[in-house]
Amino acid sequence: MSTQHNIRKVTTHVLAEMKLRGEKISMLTAYDYSMARILEQAGIDVILVGDSASNVMAGHETTLPITLNEMIYHASAVVRGTKRALIVVDLPFGTYQGNSKEALASAIRIMKETAANAVKLEGGSEVKESVSRILSAGIPVMGHLGLTPQSIHKFGTYVVRAKENEEAKKLIEDAHILEDAGCFALVLEKIPATLAAKVATEIKIPVIGIGAGNKVDGQVLVLHDMLGITQEFSPRFLRRYHNLYQEIQGAVSNYINDVKSSDFPNEREQY
């Protein structure tokens, strides 16, 4: 069993040590208190309050509409449900791009109002100034390269990124830029496994993959996808550990039948 379970709190330093030891980092998303508690009790290392909340919690088609206030609401609930896991919060679209002062102000709001441990933002050289300014306030930053859902309208599709040499070269350069800027970890989303492996070997900070093969330092999935609550989303990289959609639907159908047939509540379930 992992020695990490004995450590009181996972910090960015703990993640660096895990990479050095070759111990894989487990990361999942969560957006609310109850789920965060379950993940915490199971021993997850990192919880990402992802802007995927825009999709799975709010039903938007993209991650673009979610606001900073909404992210803060989700993140504070997650923090209340956890003690040991490192909590990382996505800076939502429009709160950091192109304006490093605004990026710092957004990151400060997240840290002050949620008590989370770090922020994550998408992009490479374009966000370098924002990363540096946020770090100058002592706020740890996680980078995110490859498929960056906040730029979906630039790319037009969610297909695998960096298959061509030029894009792969830029991704490697960006990974170095983020490491040099001081990011404590990097998410690589939906890129060829060989490229992800090369990045994980070249840079010293932990690389967490989603659809990036297993030669990286850890893995992240969206909780609702791996639990089978979302049904329509089935990329090759997604391993479903449950079919909660069906389970919940079955339980609710049984409840409806019991209410309609007056089977619920029975004598033991009343006062």
Known catalytic residues are 189
CA distance 9 to 210: 24
**In the window 183-222, what residues touch ligand KIV (CB under 6 A)?**
187, 189, 210, 220, 222
Query: Shortest gap between Cβ of 266 and ligand KIV (angstroms)?
Result: 42
**In the window 44-83, what residues touch ligand KIV (CB under 6 A)?**
48, 50-52
Q: Which is nearer to ligand KIV, 189 or 217 (CB)?
A: 189
Query: Shortest gap between Cβ of 90 and ligand KIV (angstroms)?
Result: 5
Query: Shortest gap between Cβ of 149 and ligand KIV (angstroms)?
Result: 7
Closest to 171 in 3D by CA, of 152, 189, 151: 189
Q: Which is nearer to ligand KIV, 10 or 48 (CB)?
A: 48
Q: 185-189 and 86-90 as β-strands: parallel, antiparallel, unpaired?
A: unpaired
Asked if 89 is part of the footprint of ligand KIV (rule: CB under 6 A), the reply reads no
Asked if 110 is part of the footprint of ligand KIV (rule: CB under 6 A), the reply reads no
Query: Shortest gap between Cβ of 160 and ligand KIV (angstroms)?
Result: 14
Q: Per the structure block, which two tokens stand in for 165?
A: 């040499």
Query: Shortest gap between Cβ of 257 and ligand KIV (angstroms)?
Result: 36
Closest to 15 in 3D by CA, of 39, 37, 38, 48: 48
Q: Which is nearer to ligand KIV, 126 or 253 (CB)?
A: 126
Query: Shortest gap between Cβ of 165 and ligand KIV (angstroms)?
Result: 25
Closest to 187 in 3D by CA, of 59, 61, 77, 88: 88
Q: Which is nearer to ligand KIV, 174 or 189 (CB)?
A: 189
CA distance 171 to 111: 28
Residue 86 is inside which H or E element, if any? strand 86-90
Inter-residue contact 195 to 162 (CB < 8 Å) = yes
Among 4, 29, 95, 97, binds ligand KIV (CB under 6 A): 29
Q: Find the length of the chain.
A: 271
Give the nearest residue (CB) to ligand KIV: 50
Q: What is the signed CA dihedral for 97, 127, 150, 58, rounded to 10 degrees?
A: -70
Per-residue contact track with ligand KIV, 230 to 269, x per CB under 6 A?
----------------------------------------
Q: Which is nearer to ligand KIV, 211 or 250 (CB)?
A: 211
Q: Per the structure block, which two tokens stand in for 140?
A: 């740890």
Q: How many residues bind ligand KIV (CB under 6 A)?
A: 11
Say which residues have a Cβ less than 8 Å from residue 153's Cβ, sequence separation at least 6.
64
Residue 41 is inside which H or E element, if any? helix 33-42
Q: Which is nearer to ligand KIV, 168 or 210 (CB)?
A: 210
Inter-residue contact 146 to 171 (CB < 8 Å) = yes
Closest to 236 in 3D by CA, of 205, 200, 201, 191: 191
Asked if 123 is part of the footprint of ligand KIV (rule: CB under 6 A), the reply reads no
Interface residues with ligand KIV (CB under 6 A)? 29, 48, 50-52, 90, 187, 189, 210, 220, 222
